[in-house]
Amino acid sequence: MTYRPFGAFRFVLAMMVLLQHGLLLLPGGARDAFYQLELGAVAVAVFFALSGFIVAEATGSFYAGRPGAFLTNRVLRVVPPYLAALALSVLIDSWLFAAGRLVPLDAPVMLPPWQRRVLLSAVLEIVPGMPAYRLSGQDFSFIPFAWTLRVEFAFYLVAFVTCWLIVSGRADAWREAIGAGAFAGGYAAFGLFLWRHWLYGAAGGGLQLLNIPFFAFGVCAFLALRDDGRVARLHLLFAAALVPVAFVLCGERGHPVLAWQLPMLIVLFGTLLVLARAPAPAGWVRVWDRRLGELSYPLYISHGIVLTLLASLSAARGAAPYGMAVVGALGLAVWLHALVEKPMRRVRDRVRGAQVG
Protein backbone atom coordinates (compact mmCIF):
# COMPACT_ATOMS: atom_id res chain seq x y z
CA MET A 1 0.00 0.00 0.00
CA THR A 2 1.55 3.30 -1.13
CA TYR A 3 1.96 6.11 1.40
CA ARG A 4 -0.38 8.93 0.43
CA PRO A 5 0.61 12.48 1.46
CA PHE A 6 -2.73 13.15 3.11
CA GLY A 7 -1.40 14.02 6.58
CA ALA A 8 -0.96 17.78 6.27
CA PHE A 9 -4.16 17.92 4.21
CA ARG A 10 -6.14 16.27 7.03
CA PHE A 11 -4.56 18.66 9.53
CA VAL A 12 -5.64 21.67 7.45
CA LEU A 13 -9.20 20.33 7.34
CA ALA A 14 -9.22 19.88 11.13
CA MET A 15 -7.89 23.43 11.54
CA MET A 16 -10.70 24.73 9.35
CA VAL A 17 -13.22 23.17 11.73
CA LEU A 18 -11.41 24.62 14.76
CA LEU A 19 -11.26 28.10 13.22
CA GLN A 20 -14.97 27.93 12.45
CA HIS A 21 -16.04 26.82 15.93
CA GLY A 22 -13.60 29.26 17.55
CA LEU A 23 -15.79 32.13 16.36
CA LEU A 24 -17.62 31.65 19.68
CA LEU A 25 -14.77 33.67 21.19
CA LEU A 26 -15.09 36.65 18.83
CA PRO A 27 -17.29 39.71 19.51
CA GLY A 28 -20.78 39.70 18.04
CA GLY A 29 -20.19 41.66 14.84
CA ALA A 30 -17.04 39.83 13.83
CA ARG A 31 -18.55 36.49 14.82
CA ASP A 32 -21.63 36.98 12.67
CA ALA A 33 -19.57 38.12 9.69
CA PHE A 34 -17.07 35.26 9.82
CA TYR A 35 -19.68 32.65 10.69
CA GLN A 36 -21.08 32.94 7.20
CA LEU A 37 -17.82 31.53 5.86
CA GLU A 38 -18.71 28.08 7.27
CA LEU A 39 -15.22 26.64 6.93
CA GLY A 40 -16.31 23.67 9.02
CA ALA A 41 -19.07 22.61 6.64
CA VAL A 42 -16.65 22.58 3.72
CA ALA A 43 -14.01 20.68 5.71
CA VAL A 44 -16.43 17.97 6.88
CA ALA A 45 -17.57 17.26 3.32
CA VAL A 46 -13.93 16.82 2.24
CA PHE A 47 -13.20 14.71 5.33
CA PHE A 48 -15.95 12.30 4.28
CA ALA A 49 -14.56 12.07 0.74
CA LEU A 50 -11.08 11.43 2.11
CA SER A 51 -12.50 8.71 4.34
CA GLY A 52 -14.10 7.09 1.31
CA PHE A 53 -10.74 6.98 -0.49
CA ILE A 54 -8.79 5.65 2.50
CA VAL A 55 -11.35 2.96 3.36
CA ALA A 56 -11.59 1.80 -0.26
CA GLU A 57 -7.81 1.47 -0.46
CA ALA A 58 -7.48 -0.21 2.94
CA THR A 59 -10.15 -2.83 2.30
CA GLY A 60 -8.36 -3.77 -0.91
CA SER A 61 -4.90 -4.04 0.66
CA PHE A 62 -4.37 -4.57 4.40
CA TYR A 63 -7.85 -5.94 4.95
CA ALA A 64 -8.37 -7.85 1.71
CA GLY A 65 -10.42 -10.90 2.66
CA ARG A 66 -10.57 -9.75 6.32
CA PRO A 67 -13.67 -7.57 6.80
CA GLY A 68 -13.73 -8.32 10.54
CA ALA A 69 -10.20 -6.96 10.99
CA PHE A 70 -11.17 -3.85 9.03
CA LEU A 71 -14.15 -3.07 11.27
CA THR A 72 -12.19 -3.87 14.44
CA ASN A 73 -9.42 -1.49 13.46
CA ARG A 74 -11.86 1.27 12.61
CA VAL A 75 -13.42 0.93 16.07
CA LEU A 76 -9.96 1.02 17.68
CA ARG A 77 -9.12 4.12 15.64
CA VAL A 78 -12.23 6.15 16.42
CA VAL A 79 -13.63 5.08 19.79
CA PRO A 80 -10.73 5.33 22.32
CA PRO A 81 -9.85 8.98 21.48
CA TYR A 82 -13.56 9.83 21.48
CA LEU A 83 -14.08 8.29 24.92
CA ALA A 84 -10.99 10.07 26.28
CA ALA A 85 -12.17 13.42 24.94
CA LEU A 86 -15.67 12.69 26.20
CA ALA A 87 -14.44 11.91 29.73
CA LEU A 88 -12.52 15.18 29.87
CA SER A 89 -15.49 17.09 28.49
CA VAL A 90 -17.84 15.56 31.07
CA LEU A 91 -15.54 16.59 33.92
CA ILE A 92 -15.11 20.15 32.70
CA ASP A 93 -18.74 20.70 31.71
CA SER A 94 -20.00 19.26 35.02
CA TRP A 95 -17.68 21.56 36.97
CA LEU A 96 -18.76 24.61 34.96
CA PHE A 97 -22.44 23.65 35.20
CA ALA A 98 -22.24 23.26 38.98
CA ALA A 99 -20.60 26.69 39.18
CA GLY A 100 -23.33 28.18 36.99
CA ARG A 101 -20.84 29.26 34.33
CA LEU A 102 -21.22 26.72 31.53
CA VAL A 103 -21.40 28.33 28.08
CA PRO A 104 -22.02 25.40 25.70
CA LEU A 105 -20.54 25.35 22.25
CA ASP A 106 -23.83 24.51 20.57
CA ALA A 107 -27.22 23.69 22.12
CA PRO A 108 -28.33 24.91 25.59
CA VAL A 109 -28.00 22.65 28.63
CA MET A 110 -31.33 21.60 30.15
CA LEU A 111 -30.22 18.68 32.36
CA PRO A 112 -27.18 18.32 34.66
CA PRO A 113 -24.28 16.85 32.65
CA TRP A 114 -23.72 14.14 35.25
CA GLN A 115 -27.21 12.63 34.95
CA ARG A 116 -27.11 8.97 33.96
CA ARG A 117 -29.16 9.31 30.78
CA VAL A 118 -27.09 12.29 29.64
CA LEU A 119 -23.88 10.31 30.11
CA LEU A 120 -25.33 7.24 28.42
CA SER A 121 -26.50 9.28 25.46
CA ALA A 122 -23.02 10.77 25.12
CA VAL A 123 -21.36 7.35 25.02
CA LEU A 124 -23.84 5.99 22.48
CA GLU A 125 -23.98 9.15 20.39
CA ILE A 126 -21.50 7.86 17.81
CA VAL A 127 -23.59 4.75 17.17
CA PRO A 128 -25.56 5.08 13.90
CA GLY A 129 -29.18 5.91 14.61
CA MET A 130 -28.50 7.10 18.17
CA PRO A 131 -28.43 10.92 18.31
CA ALA A 132 -28.12 12.28 21.85
CA TYR A 133 -31.61 13.72 22.17
CA ARG A 134 -33.26 10.32 21.81
CA LEU A 135 -31.90 9.28 25.20
CA SER A 136 -31.27 12.51 27.06
CA GLY A 137 -34.29 14.48 25.82
CA GLN A 138 -32.14 17.52 25.00
CA ASP A 139 -30.06 18.70 22.05
CA PHE A 140 -27.00 19.41 24.19
CA SER A 141 -24.00 17.24 23.38
CA PHE A 142 -20.63 17.17 25.10
CA ILE A 143 -19.02 16.89 21.66
CA PRO A 144 -21.49 18.59 19.29
CA PHE A 145 -19.75 17.34 16.14
CA ALA A 146 -19.99 13.68 17.22
CA TRP A 147 -22.73 13.36 14.59
CA THR A 148 -19.97 13.12 12.00
CA LEU A 149 -18.68 9.98 13.75
CA ARG A 150 -22.16 8.44 13.50
CA VAL A 151 -22.01 9.07 9.77
CA GLU A 152 -18.49 7.60 9.60
CA PHE A 153 -19.55 4.44 11.41
CA ALA A 154 -22.55 4.03 9.12
CA PHE A 155 -20.12 4.11 6.18
CA TYR A 156 -17.82 1.62 7.92
CA LEU A 157 -20.72 -0.76 8.43
CA VAL A 158 -21.68 -0.52 4.76
CA ALA A 159 -18.05 -1.18 3.79
CA PHE A 160 -17.88 -4.13 6.21
CA VAL A 161 -21.05 -5.76 4.89
CA THR A 162 -19.96 -5.20 1.29
CA CYS A 163 -16.54 -6.75 1.91
CA TRP A 164 -18.04 -9.66 3.83
CA LEU A 165 -20.42 -10.43 0.98
CA ILE A 166 -17.58 -10.18 -1.55
CA VAL A 167 -15.43 -12.56 0.50
CA SER A 168 -18.30 -15.03 0.85
CA GLY A 169 -18.74 -15.25 -2.92
CA ARG A 170 -16.70 -17.71 -4.92
CA ALA A 171 -17.44 -16.49 -8.44
CA ASP A 172 -16.01 -13.32 -9.95
CA ALA A 173 -19.46 -12.40 -11.23
CA TRP A 174 -20.80 -12.52 -7.67
CA ARG A 175 -18.06 -10.20 -6.38
CA GLU A 176 -18.60 -7.75 -9.19
CA ALA A 177 -22.35 -7.79 -8.59
CA ILE A 178 -21.87 -7.03 -4.89
CA GLY A 179 -19.62 -4.07 -5.66
CA ALA A 180 -22.06 -2.72 -8.21
CA GLY A 181 -24.94 -3.32 -5.81
CA ALA A 182 -23.25 -1.28 -3.07
CA PHE A 183 -22.95 1.70 -5.41
CA ALA A 184 -26.50 1.24 -6.67
CA GLY A 185 -27.82 1.05 -3.12
CA GLY A 186 -26.01 4.23 -2.12
CA TYR A 187 -27.23 6.16 -5.13
CA ALA A 188 -30.77 4.83 -4.63
CA ALA A 189 -30.74 5.96 -0.99
CA PHE A 190 -29.57 9.42 -2.03
CA GLY A 191 -32.22 9.53 -4.75
CA LEU A 192 -34.89 8.54 -2.22
CA PHE A 193 -33.77 11.39 0.02
CA LEU A 194 -34.00 13.87 -2.88
CA TRP A 195 -37.48 12.64 -3.74
CA ARG A 196 -38.75 12.90 -0.16
CA HIS A 197 -37.07 16.26 0.23
CA TRP A 198 -38.80 17.53 -2.89
CA LEU A 199 -42.18 16.32 -1.56
CA TYR A 200 -41.89 17.18 2.14
CA GLY A 201 -38.88 19.46 2.60
CA ALA A 202 -36.96 19.08 5.86
CA ALA A 203 -39.89 17.10 7.29
CA GLY A 204 -38.93 14.26 4.95
CA GLY A 205 -36.01 13.40 7.25
CA GLY A 206 -32.98 11.34 6.34
CA LEU A 207 -30.61 14.30 6.31
CA GLN A 208 -27.61 12.05 6.98
CA LEU A 209 -28.12 10.55 3.51
CA LEU A 210 -26.87 13.87 2.14
CA ASN A 211 -23.36 12.68 2.88
CA ILE A 212 -23.49 9.69 0.50
CA PRO A 213 -22.05 11.58 -2.52
CA PHE A 214 -19.02 12.69 -0.49
CA PHE A 215 -18.08 9.13 0.47
CA ALA A 216 -18.91 7.90 -3.04
CA PHE A 217 -16.55 10.48 -4.52
CA GLY A 218 -13.68 9.20 -2.38
CA VAL A 219 -14.36 5.55 -3.21
CA CYS A 220 -14.66 6.34 -6.93
CA ALA A 221 -11.45 8.38 -6.80
CA PHE A 222 -9.56 5.35 -5.51
CA LEU A 223 -11.15 3.00 -8.07
CA ALA A 224 -10.31 5.41 -10.89
CA LEU A 225 -6.73 5.61 -9.66
CA ARG A 226 -6.42 1.82 -9.30
CA ASP A 227 -8.18 0.75 -12.49
CA ASP A 228 -7.62 3.79 -14.71
CA GLY A 229 -10.49 2.63 -16.88
CA ARG A 230 -13.35 4.40 -18.59
CA VAL A 231 -16.04 2.95 -16.33
CA ALA A 232 -14.18 3.99 -13.18
CA ARG A 233 -13.70 7.53 -14.51
CA LEU A 234 -17.40 7.76 -15.40
CA HIS A 235 -18.28 6.67 -11.86
CA LEU A 236 -16.03 9.41 -10.52
CA LEU A 237 -17.59 12.06 -12.75
CA PHE A 238 -21.09 11.00 -11.68
CA ALA A 239 -20.18 11.16 -7.99
CA ALA A 240 -18.49 14.53 -8.54
CA ALA A 241 -21.68 15.87 -10.12
CA LEU A 242 -23.67 14.87 -7.03
CA VAL A 243 -21.27 16.54 -4.58
CA PRO A 244 -22.41 20.17 -5.12
CA VAL A 245 -26.05 19.05 -5.04
CA ALA A 246 -25.55 17.48 -1.62
CA PHE A 247 -23.50 20.40 -0.33
CA VAL A 248 -26.05 23.01 -1.37
CA LEU A 249 -28.81 21.05 0.38
CA CYS A 250 -26.66 21.06 3.52
CA GLY A 251 -27.52 24.75 3.73
CA GLU A 252 -31.01 23.80 4.80
CA ARG A 253 -29.69 22.32 8.04
CA GLY A 254 -27.83 25.45 9.10
CA HIS A 255 -24.91 25.68 6.69
CA PRO A 256 -25.31 28.80 4.53
CA VAL A 257 -23.80 28.42 1.08
CA LEU A 258 -22.12 31.48 -0.38
CA ALA A 259 -20.71 32.01 -3.84
CA TRP A 260 -17.15 31.28 -2.72
CA GLN A 261 -17.98 28.07 -0.85
CA LEU A 262 -18.55 25.85 -3.87
CA PRO A 263 -15.32 27.01 -5.56
CA MET A 264 -13.49 26.28 -2.31
CA LEU A 265 -15.11 22.87 -2.14
CA ILE A 266 -14.06 22.16 -5.72
CA VAL A 267 -10.48 23.24 -4.97
CA LEU A 268 -10.27 20.96 -1.93
CA PHE A 269 -11.79 17.99 -3.73
CA GLY A 270 -9.34 18.62 -6.57
CA THR A 271 -6.50 18.77 -4.05
CA LEU A 272 -7.55 15.35 -2.79
CA LEU A 273 -7.25 13.94 -6.31
CA VAL A 274 -3.85 15.57 -6.82
CA LEU A 275 -2.48 14.25 -3.53
CA ALA A 276 -3.82 10.78 -4.31
CA ARG A 277 -1.65 10.69 -7.42
CA ALA A 278 1.34 12.49 -5.89
CA PRO A 279 4.52 10.49 -5.27
CA ALA A 280 5.15 9.40 -1.70
CA PRO A 281 7.23 12.03 0.14
CA ALA A 282 10.52 11.12 1.74
CA GLY A 283 12.74 12.40 4.53
CA TRP A 284 11.56 15.20 6.79
CA VAL A 285 8.62 16.00 4.52
CA ARG A 286 7.17 12.55 5.11
CA VAL A 287 7.89 12.72 8.84
CA TRP A 288 6.04 16.00 9.27
CA ASP A 289 3.23 15.01 6.96
CA ARG A 290 2.66 11.92 9.11
CA ARG A 291 2.91 13.87 12.37
CA LEU A 292 0.42 16.50 11.27
CA GLY A 293 -1.93 13.79 10.07
CA GLU A 294 -1.73 12.07 13.46
CA LEU A 295 -2.92 15.27 15.16
CA SER A 296 -5.92 15.78 12.87
CA TYR A 297 -8.39 13.46 14.62
CA PRO A 298 -7.52 14.37 18.24
CA LEU A 299 -7.63 18.04 17.24
CA TYR A 300 -11.01 17.58 15.62
CA ILE A 301 -12.57 15.61 18.45
CA SER A 302 -11.25 17.65 21.40
CA HIS A 303 -11.07 21.30 20.37
CA GLY A 304 -14.58 22.00 21.63
CA ILE A 305 -13.36 21.34 25.19
CA VAL A 306 -10.91 24.24 25.01
CA LEU A 307 -13.47 26.54 23.39
CA THR A 308 -16.11 25.78 26.03
CA LEU A 309 -13.64 26.29 28.86
CA LEU A 310 -12.41 29.67 27.61
CA ALA A 311 -15.89 30.91 26.72
CA SER A 312 -17.22 29.92 30.16
CA LEU A 313 -14.40 31.23 32.35
CA SER A 314 -14.12 34.66 30.76
CA ALA A 315 -16.43 37.13 29.07
CA ALA A 316 -13.51 38.43 27.00
CA ARG A 317 -14.06 38.16 23.29
CA GLY A 318 -11.61 39.03 20.59
CA ALA A 319 -8.41 38.03 18.82
CA ALA A 320 -6.56 37.20 22.06
CA PRO A 321 -8.94 34.52 23.40
CA TYR A 322 -9.40 33.25 19.86
CA GLY A 323 -5.64 32.79 19.52
CA MET A 324 -5.45 31.20 22.97
CA ALA A 325 -8.11 28.71 21.89
CA VAL A 326 -6.10 27.69 18.83
CA VAL A 327 -2.91 27.20 20.85
CA GLY A 328 -4.76 25.38 23.64
CA ALA A 329 -6.56 23.08 21.21
CA LEU A 330 -3.30 22.14 19.52
CA GLY A 331 -1.72 21.40 22.91
CA LEU A 332 -4.65 19.23 23.95
CA ALA A 333 -4.48 17.36 20.63
CA VAL A 334 -0.78 16.60 21.18
CA TRP A 335 -1.56 15.34 24.69
CA LEU A 336 -4.50 13.22 23.55
CA HIS A 337 -2.46 11.68 20.75
CA ALA A 338 0.38 10.79 23.11
CA LEU A 339 -1.91 9.45 25.84
CA VAL A 340 -4.36 7.44 23.72
CA GLU A 341 -3.45 7.09 20.06
CA LYS A 342 0.20 6.11 20.41
CA PRO A 343 -0.50 3.16 22.74
CA MET A 344 -3.41 2.08 20.54
CA ARG A 345 -1.23 2.17 17.43
CA ARG A 346 0.59 -0.99 18.46
CA VAL A 347 -2.72 -2.81 18.94
CA ARG A 348 -4.01 -1.56 15.60
CA ASP A 349 -0.80 -2.63 13.83
CA ARG A 350 -1.32 -6.16 15.10
CA VAL A 351 -4.90 -6.19 13.84
CA ARG A 352 -3.85 -4.67 10.51
CA GLY A 353 -0.89 -6.99 10.15
CA ALA A 354 1.48 -4.19 9.15
CA GLN A 355 2.75 -0.77 10.20
CA VAL A 356 1.66 2.35 8.34
CA GLY A 357 3.85 5.36 7.70
Length of the chain: 357
**Cα(32)–Cα(26) distance, integer angstroms:** 9
Q: pTM for the full model?
A: 0.92
Residue pLDDT, tens place only, 37-47: 778 889 999 99
**Cα(19)–Cα(352) distance, integer angstroms:** 34
**Cα(178)–Cα(161) distance, integer angstroms:** 10
Ranges of each domain in the chain: 7-350
Which amino acid does the sequence have at 329?
Answer: A
What average pLDDT does range 69-96 have in this prediction?
94
Residue pLDDT, tens place only, 118-174: 888 889 899 988 776 777 778 888 998 899 999 999 999 999 999 998 888 766 777
Residue pLDDT, tens place only, 161-216: 999 988 887 667 777 788 888 888 999 999 998 888 888 776 666 778 889 999 99
Taking the CB of residue 127, how many other CB atoms lie within 10 A of it?
Answer: 12
Residue pLDDT, tens place only, 1-30: 678 999 999 999 999 999 888 888 888 777
What average pLDDT does range 238-254 have in this prediction?
81
